Structure 1
């Protein structure tokens, strides 16, 4: 059956693990924080997690067939799993668009080394990749989802999981709409991170997978975190359940495999300044002007910002690889970190967003 343009764009996004609806979920948390007291983040960061609420949310129901949760911080180390998911707290899973945090971290490291800047045009690093008549798109605009890129309207040339170059070729096909200028708001778009991965490879001369291992996984001792090769559908043992028929490779946009302990260590280390120089560390929390008023709230460094009902601010990322929905969030000081993954059931995006909200609220 031939895919329509809409189905094509949706298939690529789902295969890449972008999960736009769920990624937006944590970004829309400010809308739920209109009422109630707003204690300081320092106070909120050390209060106990509501483990009773977490247990109740993890019970299999019409929203999630099974849920894994890990919460870490001073005085707390709480893990649990329900339903058909592995009960091993170190089970691996496909992290989907959480991969983007690894990508943005590598880019910011390269910026700190002076090998490029957030203001460097992508066209200068990757000449010929984007149409000549497009306005310059900067590296920083890729990380903060302010590039104005849209969705592809044609199939990539590859019949299976397309290569990054094939994805971008489909995105920039003359039949597809060009970015609309001026860009007036943030718009979450996984294709920004295909370009960011290509930037990493061109600047370093090494593969994206090698850079992630060299710069992040090995220094932090993340033994279960890696970028699979194209066509590799295998999973480590133990792992959370995942269907075999999907095309999981989505590279720098959403293709990595990790586990809850590794993700906790990664985000905590990132927020505490172990991976970036001071100037780039500030970019992690700097919010671009275009984030104001938008439903997607991404920092210049690619972190998703959410404000809970009591005013607590959390930073992190969501990501999905069908049928699992994942997230990793922490307070700015990295003293409380939540990792979750659940197997969604049903097709109600509102219910799925609400479950993600509730897990985050209970953990912090």
Structure 2
């Protein structure tokens, strides 16, 4: 699944590996409608019932030598199953750094602000955050940031040992010679880019005059009763107990609104279920969760949700993310017939092996 910050070569490589998760609809042909909406109705490939044995096998064993541990939680209308493997906690409330799953929280808050009339999807980020992007760059809208169609460059000259403010990290991208100019034009391709969500976090703070953590807390965490979900403070790297597994020292800049949150499996299952059910957004913004922009090769909707069609035709929605030594994902069918949350603790650096393991879990879950 996609890494939480997309500038390092390894994160880009693992992001590319996620294409194996699904056969996502290809780019639109010329003359096609500008929006596509995946069919919501059927979940044709979903197993009739949860298969605990298949799920446990999908986690692998310590003898594989590839993963220190793994956890998966499968839920939905057919019941619930939770399993673990290796050196991870069996406590259902065990927390882990969720990486880029954080982006779902960020896009939800932004869409709520749109619904409140505090900004619009067509508002240029240059208008909301003056002097943040170079003046000669083309306008980049809020909608483009959410759906990864901003065209902003990804390469950055950041120092992994430095502590950046969000604005400082964005500046390293915009001023980095290797980053180049943004991709512009009428038909910007969809390119997954963590910089988009640093900017969205900054937009949230500018519009609300509150911190990103405060807005996520009062708009999502507290209303949904997410007891083990939080935005760590600046420089806070140790997980609050209980933890699923030890967290590795961070090797990337503080990921904040792009990939810095911590949660657990029950909280993520509940959050995604309430998001897809319509609890957090009015109908106009809710519809964006299921609309794919043109050229959505990576399968991110206009609402920032990761969409995938599995080989058997099952359509799932959610997000993946990695940080602090954990590779995670939360996905569900649109009708919430079935959902899965997983977290892996890889020992291997072979992205193909990591992808093979989480694909096995997804296959067993749906």
Residues paired across the two proteins, number: 346
Contact 1:14 1:322 (8 Å CA) reproduced: no
Give 3-state SS (helix, strand or coil) of 2:137's partner: coil
The 1-side partners of 2:5 and 2:329 are apart by: 20
TM-score by length of 1: 0.88
The 2-side partners of 1:160 and 1:339 are apart by: 32
Matched, 1:229 2:233: yes
C-alpha deviation, 1:351, in angstroms: 1.8
Q: Which moved more, 1:302-311 or 1:275-284?
A: 302-311
- 2:53 is matched with 52
Matched, 1:320 2:322: yes
**1:123-169 per-position Cα deviation (integer Å, ceiling 9, x unaligned):** 1100110001000111111111111112244236x953311011111
The 1-side partners of 2:70 and 2:176 are apart by: 43
CA separation of 1:323 and 1:159: change in aligned 2, threshold 3 A: closer
Contact 1:26 1:306 (8 Å CA) reproduced: no
C-alpha deviation, 1:28, in angstroms: 4.2
Contact 2:17 2:352 (8 Å CA) reproduced: no
The 1-side partners of 2:66 and 2:277 are apart by: 34
**1:210-268 per-position Cα deviation (integer Å, ceiling 9, x unaligned):** 00000000000001111011111221211022345325731100000100000000000
**Structure 1 segments of 4+ aligned residues over 2 angstroms from their partners:** 10-15, 18-34, 40-47, 62-65, 151-156, 158-161, 180-184, 242-249
The 1-side partners of 2:320 and 2:16 are apart by: 8
- 2:307 is matched with 305
The 2-side partners of 1:298 and 1:32 are apart by: 10
C-alpha deviation, 1:106, in angstroms: 0.3
Whichever structure has more helix as a proportion of its residues is: 1
User: Where do 5+ consecutive residues of structure 1 fail to align?
Assistant: 1-9, 35-39
The 2-side partners of 1:43 and 1:244 are apart by: 39
CA separation of 1:107 and 1:11: change in aligned 2, threshold 3 A: closer
**Which residue among 203, 207, 210 is the counterpart of 2:214?**
210
**Which residue among 241, 258, 263 is the counterpart of 2:263?**
258
The 2-side partners of 1:120 and 1:32 are apart by: 29
- 2:37 is matched with none
C-alpha deviation, 1:184, in angstroms: 3.8
Contact 1:315 1:331 (8 Å CA) reproduced: yes
C-alpha deviation, 1:97, in angstroms: 0.5
Give the alignment's Cα RMSD to 1 decimal.
2.6
Matched, 1:31 2:23: yes
**Which residue among 169, 172, 181 is the counterpart of 2:171?**
169
**1:156-215 per-position Cα deviation (integer Å, ceiling 9, x unaligned):** 6x9533110111110111634111223542111111100010010001110000000000
Matched, 1:67 2:70: yes
The 1-side partners of 2:124 and 2:353 are apart by: 40
CA separation of 1:270 and 1:21: change in aligned 2, threshold 3 A: farther
- 1:198 is matched with 202
Contact 1:27 1:305 (8 Å CA) reproduced: no
Contact 1:331 1:337 (8 Å CA) reproduced: yes
- 2:280 is matched with 275
- 2:124 is matched with 121
TM-score by length of 2: 0.88
